């Protein structure tokens, strides 16, 4: 089983749509979770950290379910500029190390 699994997509959605991405992780000791965004031929950039209580940043909402080892990202009112690959990222050994494990990413294409 992969340490971090994501649906690779692509997700093709119209502008204004709501889209949700899911991610599962295998290491129950993981403590830190992130969503990164990667544009084509660019470096990954931190989109948001994911907290146990869930957190929201504008149109983006992240949720964490520790019992199911599941992370989600919800994007509301999609914009053309949201088109990118979204990477689910997990700290592999809790907070004691800074080794991050990346999923393969989910490709989002927002259509006009």
The answer to whether 11 contacts another protein (rule: CB under 8 A) is no
DSSP assignments along 76-109, one per residue:
-S--GGG-EEEEEEEEEEEET---EEE---EEEE
The answer to whether 98 contacts another protein (rule: CB under 8 A) is yes
CB of 42 or CB of 66, closer to another protein:
42
The answer to whether 96 contacts another protein (rule: CB under 8 A) is yes
CB of 44 or CB of 76, closer to another protein:
44
CA distances from 38 to 15, 41, 65 (A): 19, 8, 24
Binding mask 40-59 toward another protein (x if CB under 8 A, else -) reads --xxxxx--x----------
Query: Which residues make beta-bridge pairs with 111?
Result: 14
Strands (E), 19-83: 19-25, 33-38, 44-50, 55-57, 60-65, 70-75
CB of 39 or CB of 77, closer to another protein:
39
The answer to whether 32 contacts another protein (rule: CB under 8 A) is yes
Instruction: Retrieve residue 13's tokens.
Output: 């959605």
Q: Would you tell me which residues interact with another protein (CB under 8 A)?
A: 4, 32, 34, 42-46, 49, 87, 91, 95-105
């Amino acid at each position: 089983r992969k340490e971090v699994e994501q649906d690779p997509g692509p997700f093709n959605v119209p502008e204004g749509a709501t889209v949700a991405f899911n991610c599962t992780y295998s290491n129950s000791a993981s403590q830190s979770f992130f969503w990164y965004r990667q544009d084509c031929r660019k470096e990954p950039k931190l989109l948001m950290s994911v907290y146990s209580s869930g957190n929201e940043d504008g149109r983006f909402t992240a949720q964490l379910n520790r019992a199911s080892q599941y992370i989600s990202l919800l994007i509301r009112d999609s914009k053309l500029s949201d088109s990118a690959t979204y990477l689910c990222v997990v700290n592999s050994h809790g907070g004691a190390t800074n080794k991050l494990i990346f999923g393969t990413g989910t490709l989002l294409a927002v259509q006009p």
